[in-house]
């Protein structure tokens, strides 16, 4: 029984819903490693005050809050498929939402809105690896970014018996896909965390 409950709770980190989904949101918002991973990713983007920023899979809204603090005169948009996480993120970013500096959208990462203007910075933390068509998602992101814009995709491997190398290989695979859809200056950064490191692949939109 305990094992079944544990498996169900773990599944909530991918598809949060219901009471356990709210618990997963609380865990994500308060766990030190998750807070550090989000802050690190946003810092790597070098967000400027007037940037337009997009987060894919915003969870409880930690990255959204930090990005909106950096883009103090810009605009931050988040897309997440979970209505439960939308509630958490809206509560955590209520003032910025009321000020029309942050917009949070419930939707699939595989079918992004068109948006009225392109983005300067885009990031995702432990979300894009769940997409069944990552290449298609990255192409869609590229179409929604300015030339010279920067993307940061962070992952921390959750595979059984994972090592630092698993996180790094995942980021490197993502980097290869980014190059396929028109990004350049690809590089991978790592953050020392437990049980394994987080790896972030960064890239810029190439000129056509």
**pLDDT score at 158:** 83
Q: Is 165:54 a contact under the CB 8 Å cutoff?
A: no
Which parts of 31-163 fold into alpha helices (H)? 32-45, 62-70, 83-92, 94-98, 134-143
CA–CA distance from 53 to each of 13, 100, 132, 184 (Å)? 24, 14, 24, 19
Distance, CA of 131 to CA of 86 (rounded, Å)? 19
| Rounded distance between C-alpha atoms, residue 101 and residue 98, angstroms | 8
pLDDT means per 10 residues, the chain with 208 residues, are 44 50 51 84 98 96 97 97 93 97 96 95 93 94 96 92 95 96 97 95 90
| Cβ-based neighbours of 100, under 8 Å, separated by 6 or more | none
pLDDT at residue 3 in the model: 46
**pTM of this prediction?**
0.87
Sheet holding 75-80, edge to edge: 102-106, 75-80, 52-56, 119-125, 145-155, 198-205, 183-191
Contact assessment for residue 157 and residue 166, using Cβ atoms and an 8 Å cutoff = yes
Q: 């994500």: which residue's tokens?
A: 28
């Amino acid at each position: 029984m305990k094992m079944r409950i544990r498996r169900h709770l773990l599944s909530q980190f991918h598809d949060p819903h219901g009471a356990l989904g709210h618990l997963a949101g609380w865990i994500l918002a308060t766990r030190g490693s998750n807070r550090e991973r989000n802050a690190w990713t946003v810092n790597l983007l070098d967000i400027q005050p007037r940037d337009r920023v997009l987060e894919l899979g915003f969870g409880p809204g930690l990255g959204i809050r930090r990005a909106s603090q950096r883009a103090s005169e810009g605009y931050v948009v988040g897309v997440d498929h979970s209505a439960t996480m939308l509630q958490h993120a809206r509560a955590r970013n209520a003032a910025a939402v009321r000020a029309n500096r942050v917009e949070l959208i419930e939707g699939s990462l595989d079918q992004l809105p068109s948006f009225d203007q392109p983005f300067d910075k885009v990031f995702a933390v432990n979300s894009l690896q769940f997409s069944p068509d990552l290449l298609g998602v990255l192409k869609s992101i590229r179409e929604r970014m300015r030339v010279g814009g920067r993307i940061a995709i962070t992952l921390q491997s959750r595979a059984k018996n994972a090592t630092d190398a698993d996180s790094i290989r995942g980021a490197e695979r993502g980097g290869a896909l980014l190059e396929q859809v028109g990004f350049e200056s690809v590089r991978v950064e790592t953050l020392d965390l437990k049980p394994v490191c987080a790896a972030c692949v960064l890239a810029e939109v190439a000129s056509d």
